[in-house]
Amino acid sequence: MSENERRLLMTLSKKVQQQEETITQLVEIIAATNRRVTDISTKQELLLQSN
- Tens of pLDDT, residue by residue over 22-34, are 999 999 999 999 9
Domain with 36, as residue range(s), is 20-51
**What pLDDT sits at residue 35?**
98
In angstroms, rounded to a whole number, what is the distance separating the alpha carbons of residues 38 and 45?
Answer: 11
In angstroms, rounded to a whole number, what is the distance separating the alpha carbons of residues 22 and 45?
Answer: 35
| Total domains, the chain | 1
Return mean pLDDT, the chain: 97
From first CA to last CA, the distance across the chain in angstroms is 73
pLDDT at residue 46 greater than cutoff 80: yes
**What pLDDT sits at residue 42?**
97
| Residue 33 counted as domain residue | yes
pTM, full prediction? 0.77
| Residue 11 counted as domain residue | no
Mean pLDDT of all residues in 24-51: 96
In angstroms, rounded to a whole number, what is the distance separating the alpha carbons of residues 35 and 11?
Answer: 36
Give how far Cα 34 sits from Cα of 13, 15, 20, 28, 38, Å: 32, 28, 21, 10, 6
